[in-house]
Amino acid sequence: MGRLPCHPLTPLSKAISARPRFLSLSGDRRVSIPAHLTARRSPALSGRVRAPGDKSISHRALILGAMATGVTDIEGLLEGDDILATARAVEALGATVERLGEGRWRVTGCSGFKAPVGVIDCGNAGTGVRLLMGAAAGYPIAVTFDGDASLRKRPMQRVTGPLASMGAGFDWANELDRLPVRIVGGALKAIDHVQTVASAQIKSAILLAGLNAAGVTTVTEAEPSRDHTERMLRAFGAEIGVLPMDGGWRVSLMGGQDLAGTAVAVPGDPSSAAFPLAAGLIVPGSGVTVEGVMLNPLRTGLFETWREMGADLTVANRRMAGGEEVGDVTARHSTLTGVVVPPDRAASMIDEYPILAATAAFAEGATVMRGIGEMRVKESDRIALMAAGLTACGVRVTEEPEGFTVFGGPVRGGATVTTHGDHRIAMSHLVLGLAAEEAITVDEPDMIATSFPDFLQLMRGLGADIAASE
């Protein structure tokens, strides 16, 4: 067994800044990432690969395991930078965290978070920091949360506002609504929160705080967001109610409930599986299968959209893993046609619009994506960056405040794309390069490790021509 490389008494900001980026973590083997990666037009891709563990569930397994009494054994944990930041955070808050082997982790809960020594640095993990703030708010401790330059630009008041209504205190160090922030928790009261935007992060933060609040905490959503937190709370022994309401639902949770450690099997991440599957759709002659992909209907909006575009996308071997339906998804090269993506589908695929835009570049006609203003406050302004990258590669794009339209046709390529350190922007343009006329280069590919540590090796194993470049 090996403890995390960062001891809780080590200042987390120093630990993260000193830690080298890597794409692969297996035991002590680490593979460094070059300054640039270049993707070139590739021959037909083929093979079967395993989807990396789901990022959303990996965060929640660590946090709930830390809040619970007893031991939580996790199989298939995503070992990306964002998840490792959350693992170090819960260790700093008093849990014991051990890595038992590749993807195998054990969390021994602390039955109540303890005040950490120093700042908790969440790196680039937006989900991690927002859920951790919700969890920490329920305990009588003071915690300062911070992150990297990208995370410091992302809005936090959408979460801290409801938590403040429950009684948590916040002290903003530099700028209101931006990290770093000091939170003082404890003595919370339940609230009835009505969501104005479908956001699993906001809902989850409120529910995690509600575990230690007096009364019944409710969250009402007009459009359902991801329900991973509700499912996992039940797995850890909590009673949680979900009442359907006019196309949405009302989620309720009684405060004062104790969680018990459990076994968690993390299913494959559909957001990560999207990249090799997209490559299978656009590279002529290809057939790519990704095994063990989560098929939760609140996460499969991209697959539905691809099928509407004419994609040859099939699912086999449906089964249950960790309380979620999973299956083996196969994508074969397809002739795609542009579509209008329903705005109400955004909640089920908000992280997949960059790779949808890349595949839309090879479709006949226009693919219209609206109602996705949330993309502008992710790790970067993803609408602006995808529009700029595609345009540089010869693709016609029209940008709007809340969306954009991609007009398919020949993709010239031949550009170096600025990613602003956004992993999904980098991977989407590398996939684009596999079928473009000329090579496409991306900068700052080290950030791919935040969500998909083995991206480079996995894609090369399928036959993709992706290599380091100056």
To the query of whether residue 81 is one of the catalytic residues in this protein, the response is: no
Task: State whether residue 209 is helix, strand or coil.
Answer: helix
DSSP states of 381-447 as a string?
Answer: -HHHHHHHHHHHTT-EEEEETTEEEEE-S------EE--TT-HHHHHHHHHHHTTSSS-EEEE-GGG
CB count within 10 Å of CB 237 equals: 14
How far apart, in whole angstroms, are the C-alpha atoms of residue 319 and residue 335? 30
CB count within 10 Å of CB 174 equals: 9
DSSP states of 142-198 as a string?
Answer: EEEEE--TTGGGS--HHHHHHHHHHT-EEEESSSTTSS-EEEE--SEE--EEE-SS-
> In sequence order, what are the residues at sequence separation of 6 or more whose Cβ sits closer than 8 angstroms to the Cβ of residue 386?
353, 354, 357, 358, 397, 404, 425, 428
How far apart, in whole angstroms, are the C-alpha atoms of residue 129 and residue 269? 20
How far apart, in whole angstroms, are the C-alpha atoms of residue 78 and residue 113? 23
How far apart, in whole angstroms, are the C-alpha atoms of residue 292 and residue 133? 31
- Asked whether the CA dihedral 156, 228, 22, 430 is positive or negative, the reply is negative
Catalytic residue among 82, 227, 351, 446: 351
Place of tokens 């593979």: 31
- Asked whether the CA dihedral 81, 85, 86, 91 is positive or negative, the reply is positive
Active site residues: 351
